């Protein structure tokens, strides 16, 4: 029996801008996991805590709908791996997750399960997902499967699930990917993907990353639709935001390479202000009152903070001195913000023998 482990994610900066091809975001893998144990079986079967103990079997039909991301990962994964006429040996899978909740924190569960299912298929086929070239193919196929299920997205959460640690992610050209009319093996194995890149970054040992949850889940799809509306109605505003966001993310990346906490904090503060300004025409604010309080309390303790992800609820992140972390988290708790005991996870998707 083997187990695939995939980490959840938090975006540190570059939200919304990263939806545009070639834009930059810093995304961190964190130590909350989605695990899939698997072993050879007479036929494919999947059991998940999400469905209780009822097994999910599939050949040409699903006995129960597993959701779009699992379905997409299986369908495209098998199509890719069996394109040369070979067959992936059937497996019995059991999925357990710390990412789905309740409560749901917005830590990238859909990307994690997509990567995990594809990791199972690759491993069952005899591929070593620790190999750099295999992992690159897994990354690309996961981007295709996740986008196929969701219909959009930057791919930043997929990058975190694959790479682990802290990643400077340059977003793929989703329009190019959607319009590619080539066989799946050609798309994954041979073609150059415009813009796509994922650079691992160090995290200084004397920096603290604090994460607070505001107690309310957010609707990413609704906020992304609002962002797209700005692009249509006010092109100048949109491109000013895009340019400034990429500049702030680049400054944060450079500050990390220099272990310059002050410069990194300034980049986070700039990213927060840009998100505030960009979202003013939104029907609902992406920085809710509690997210704003999270950030203002952080400033009082020498941290820089902002929302993480789409906003409208979910989590905020703060970066500062480890000596002040407990005091900050105590202040958050008093304000009704739940500190989450999260740390960066240094390893990306991996397989272990059980």
Question: Number of folded domains in the chain?
Answer: 2
Please tell me the predicted confidence (pLDDT) of residue 63. Answer: 63
Burial (0-12, 13-18, 19+ Cβ within 10 Å), 228 = middle
Return d(Cα 10, Cα 97) in angstroms, integer: 16
Does one domain contain both 112 and 258? no
Q: Token pair for residue 82?
A: 């069996």
Does one domain contain both 60 and 130? yes
Please tell me the predicted confidence (pLDDT) of residue 177. Answer: 93
Please tell me the predicted confidence (pLDDT) of residue 275. Answer: 94
> DSSP assignment, residue 344?
B
Please tell me the predicted confidence (pLDDT) of residue 51. Answer: 54
End-to-end CA distance of the chain: 6
Does one domain contain both 147 and 37? yes
- Closest Cα to residue 277, out of 305, 250, 238? 238
DSSP one-letter string for 37-77 = EEEE-SS-EEEEGGGTT--EEBSSSBSS---HHHHHHHHHH
pLDDT above 80 (res 2): yes
H/E stretch holding 138 reads helix 132-150
pLDDT above 90 (res 280): no
Could you tell me which residue, 260 or 59, shows the higher pLDDT?
260
What is the pTM (predicted TM-score) of this model? 0.93
Does one domain contain both 165 and 228? no
Does one domain contain both 169 and 243? no
What's CA 281's distance to the chain center, in Å? 26
Model confidence pLDDT, tens digit, residues 311-351: 887 899 999 999 999 999 999 999 999 999 999 998 899 99
Model confidence pLDDT, tens digit, residues 21-51: 999 999 999 999 999 999 999 988 888 866 5
The CATH number assigned to the domain holding 327 equals 3.30.70.890
Domain that holds residue 27: 2-201+345-353
Q: What is the mean pLDDT of the chain?
A: 91
3-state SS of 152-164? CCCCHHHHHHHHC
Does one domain contain both 141 and 167? yes
pLDDT (mean) for 256-283: 93
DSSP one-letter string for 175-234 = HHHHH--S-HHHHHHTPPPSS-EEEEE---TT-EEEEEE-S----HHHHHHHHHHHHHH-
């Amino acid at each position: 029996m083997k187990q695939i482990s995939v980490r959840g994610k938090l975006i540190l900066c570059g939200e919304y801008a990263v939806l545009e091809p070639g834009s930059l975001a810093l995304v961190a893998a964190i130590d909350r996991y989605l695990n899939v144990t698997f072993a050879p079986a007479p036929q494919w079967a999947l059991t998940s805590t999400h469905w209780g103990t009822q097994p999910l079997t599939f050949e040409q039909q699903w006995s129960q709908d597993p959701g779009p991301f699992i379905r997409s990962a299986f369908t495209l994964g098998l199509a890719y791996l069996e394109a040369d006429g070979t067959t992936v040996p059937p497996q019995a899978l059991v999925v357990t997750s710390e990412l789905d909740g309740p409560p749901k924190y917005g830590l990238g569960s859909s990307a994690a399960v997509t990567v995990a299912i594809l990791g199972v298929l690759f491993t069952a086929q005899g591929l070593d997902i620790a190999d750099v070239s295999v992992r690159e193919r897994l990354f690309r196929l996961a981007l295709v499967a996740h986008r196929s299920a969701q219909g959009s997205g930057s791919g930043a959460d997929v990058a975190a699930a694959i790479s682990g640690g802290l990643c400077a992610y340059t977003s793929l050209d989703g329009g190019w990917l959607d319009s590619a009319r080539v066989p799946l093996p050609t798309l994954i194995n041979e073609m150059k993907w415009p813009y796509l890149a994922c650079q691992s970054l160090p995290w200084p040992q004397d920096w603290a990353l604090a994460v607070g949850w505001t107690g309310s889940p957010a609707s990413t799809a609704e906020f992304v639709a609002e962002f797209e509306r700005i692009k249509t109605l006010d092109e100048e505003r949109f491109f000013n935001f895009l340019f400034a966001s990429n500049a702030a993310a680049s400054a944060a990346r450079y500050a990390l390479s220099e272990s310059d906490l002050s410069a990194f904090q300034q980049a986070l503060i700039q990213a927060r202000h840009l998100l505030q300004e960009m979202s003013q025409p939104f029907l609902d604010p992406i920085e809710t009152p509690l997210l704003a309080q999270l950030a203002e309390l952080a400033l009082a303790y020498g941290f820089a903070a902002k929302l993480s992800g789409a906003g409208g609820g979910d989590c905020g992140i703060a970066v500062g001195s480890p000596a002040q972390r407990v005091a900050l988290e105590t202040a958050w708790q008093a304000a009704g913000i739940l500190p989450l005991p999260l740390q960066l996870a240094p390893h990306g998707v991996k397989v272990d023998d059980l």
